[in-house]
């Protein structure tokens, strides 16, 4: 019995309403040009998603998803999410304080990820490149700041730990401390199945004290007492559904539904998840999820790797927060270096990453950012391949108004 037949069987043999598709094939066939992106952005589907997003925002019904940039991890419902992606979900918090604090969002989810098929009892689960790089750093005595590459600098300065539980709880607690009385959940997604595991949640009380609930006893989280044999001795620790707040349970239930549909629609879904090979690196200032702006092009899990620029407005002009700018450029080193190195072997990660989309509220700003990126030596290696393309665009309020190739 194959995966989809098993699903059908589990449903009591009911007829599926989904046509079977191949995720691997569709990911390879995605077309990306300035024209195709514009058309996608102006489609009825995209307009409806954005209208729903605005309604959810007006009702204070958004969830902020602070996630890893990894192409395989995804937010469940773009119509009620704002997304802040960074490598290992560990980018600087300050440039996005306004987004975390916005009272039109009711919940913040700090979302790490891991890969269950390679999990071993008693060991920190792998699957996130940023955390793996952190582990290598620690082994090498934290590297040499004089000689390190841009991504190593990002990891040394920003990624707190190689462990998924510690990273998630640390980040959730850090964000909770900076936001007033908002629930901040630490969630890890198994990117082989899309399933969410709630590892903990935190909330700042009116007195300023922090209330935190964790699937792991706190004494195991102190630096010298960290013990993966105990934390993962019986599997991935998580908090059971009946013990989590309602608003978080709703997110989990929506995710159950979405991944169930993904498995029915794409019998090869799990098979495509062992490596990430997105068509596009997206660097953007927009907090509206990519799937509300380009639902056809980037609707599938695995289709894009994303890094966010934090923005500032000065006299009505949009600029990128300088701290966020250097951090985002350093993060781009990771997918771009892998893409240039693996270009000739399409079975390797990022080997198909042939597009970079730089999308901000001002085409001149997008052009400036593209030029700044192009000065990086690792970027010049990537640009040596003539089929690699950079698209710069202008999107305001989710509506794309200009898009062109960087020539």
- Where along the sequence are the contacts to Zn ion (CB under 5 A)? 68, 70, 128, 130
Of the candidates 285, 305, 357, 309, which has an alpha carbon nearest to the alpha carbon of residue 92? 309
Q: Which two tokens stand for residue 157?
A: 């300065």
Closest CB 364 distance from Zn ion, rounded Å? 32
Closest CB 129 distance from Zn ion, rounded Å? 6
Question: Is 164 or 391 the residue whose CB approaches Zn ion more closely?
Answer: 164
Question: Is 68 or 379 the residue whose CB approaches Zn ion more closely?
Answer: 68
Question: Is 130 or 200 the residue whose CB approaches Zn ion more closely?
Answer: 130
Closest CB 66 distance from Zn ion, rounded Å? 12
| Largest pairwise CA distance in the chain | 63
Question: Is 66 or 70 the residue whose CB approaches Zn ion more closely?
Answer: 70
Cβ distance 27 to 266 under 8 Å?
no
Interatomic CA distance for residues 200 and 75, integer angstroms: 18
Interatomic CA distance for residues 245 and 250, integer angstroms: 9
Closest CB 273 distance from Zn ion, rounded Å? 13
The phi-psi region of residue 176 (left if phi > 0; otherwise alpha if psi is between -120 and 50; otherwise beta) is: alpha
The CA–CA distances, whole Å, from 270 to 259, 260, 339, 341 equal: 11, 12, 23, 26
Closest CB 377 distance from Zn ion, rounded Å? 24
Strand-strand pairing, 304-308 and 62-68: unpaired
Question: Is 131 or 352 the residue whose CB approaches Zn ion more closely?
Answer: 131
Tell me the residue nearest to Zn ion as measured from the CB: 128
Closest CB 138 distance from Zn ion, rounded Å? 17
Question: Is 68 or 287 the residue whose CB approaches Zn ion more closely?
Answer: 68
Question: Is 131 or 182 the residue whose CB approaches Zn ion more closely?
Answer: 131
**How crowded is residue 351: how many other Cβ atoms within 10 Å of its Cβ?**
18
Of the candidates 181, 219, 220, which has an alpha carbon nearest to the alpha carbon of residue 201? 181
Question: Is 91 or 130 the residue whose CB approaches Zn ion more closely?
Answer: 130
Q: Which two tokens stand for residue 212?
A: 């935190």
Secondary structure of the chain: what % helix, strand, coil (to 5)? 40, 20, 40
Cβ distance 298 to 284 under 8 Å?
no
Closest CB 262 distance from Zn ion, rounded Å? 19
Closest CB 114 distance from Zn ion, rounded Å? 9
Q: Go through 272-284 and write b for each residue having 16 or more CB atoms within 10 A of its CB, e for each that does not.
A: bbeebbbbbbbbb
Cβ distance 158 to 66 under 8 Å?
no
Residues contacting 297, CB < 8 A, separation 6+: 30, 31, 32, 36, 37, 40, 303
Closest CB 246 distance from Zn ion, rounded Å? 28
Question: Is 38 or 170 the residue whose CB approaches Zn ion more closely?
Answer: 170
Question: Is 72 or 311 the residue whose CB approaches Zn ion more closely?
Answer: 72
Closest CB 337 distance from Zn ion, rounded Å? 16
């Amino acid at each position: 019995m194959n995966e989809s037949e098993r699903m059908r069987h589990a449903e009591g043999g009911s007829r599926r309403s989904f046509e079977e598709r191949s995720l691997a094939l569709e990911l390879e066939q995605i077309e990306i040009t300035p024209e195709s992106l514009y058309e996608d952005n102006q489609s009825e589907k995209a307009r409806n998603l954005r209208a729903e997003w605005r309604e959810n925002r007006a009702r204070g019904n958004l969830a902020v998803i602070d996630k890893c940039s990894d192409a395989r991890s995804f937010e469940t419902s773009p119509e009620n999410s704002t997304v802040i992606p960074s490598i290992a979900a560990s980018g600087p918090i300050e440039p996005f304080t306004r987004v975390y604090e916005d009272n039109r969002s009711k919940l913040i989810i700090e979302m790490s990820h891991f890969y269950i098929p390679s999990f071993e009892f008693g060991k920190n689960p792998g699957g996130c490149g940023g955390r793996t790089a952190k582990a290598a750093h620690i082994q090498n005595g934290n590297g040499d700041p004089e000689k390190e590459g841009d991504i190593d600098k990002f990891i040394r300065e920003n990624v707190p730990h190689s462990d998924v539980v510690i990273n998630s709880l640390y980040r959730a607690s850090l964000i909770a401390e900076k936001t007033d009385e908002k629930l901040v959940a630490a969630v890890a997604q198994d990117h082989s199945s899309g399933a969410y595991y709630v590892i903990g949640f935190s909330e700042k009380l009116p007195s300023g004290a922090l209330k935190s609930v964790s699937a792991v006893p706190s004494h195991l989280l102190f630096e010298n007492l960290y013990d993966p044999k105990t934390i993962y001795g019986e599997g991935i620790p998580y908090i059971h559904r009946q013990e989590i707040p309602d608003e978080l349970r709703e997110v989990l239930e929506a995710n159950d539904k979405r991944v169930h549909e993904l498995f029915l629609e794409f019998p090869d879904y799990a098979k495509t998840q062992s490596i990430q090979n997105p068509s596009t690196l997206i660097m953007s200032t927009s907090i509206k999820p990519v799937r509300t702006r380009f639902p056809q092009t980037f609707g599938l899990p695995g289709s894009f790797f994303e890094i966010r620029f934090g923005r500032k407005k000065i006299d009505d002009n949009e600029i990128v927060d300088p701290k966020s700018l250097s951090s985002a450029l350093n993060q781009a080193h990771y997918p771009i270096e892998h893409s240039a190195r693996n270009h000739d072997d399409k079975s390797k990660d990022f080997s198909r990453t042939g597009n970079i989309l730089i999308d901000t509220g001002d085409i001149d700003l997008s052009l400036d950012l593209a030029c700044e990126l192009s000065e990086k030596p690792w970027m010049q290696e990537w640009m040596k391949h003539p089929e690699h393309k950079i698209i710069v665009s202008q999107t305001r309020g989710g509506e794309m108004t200009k898009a062109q190739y960087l020539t």
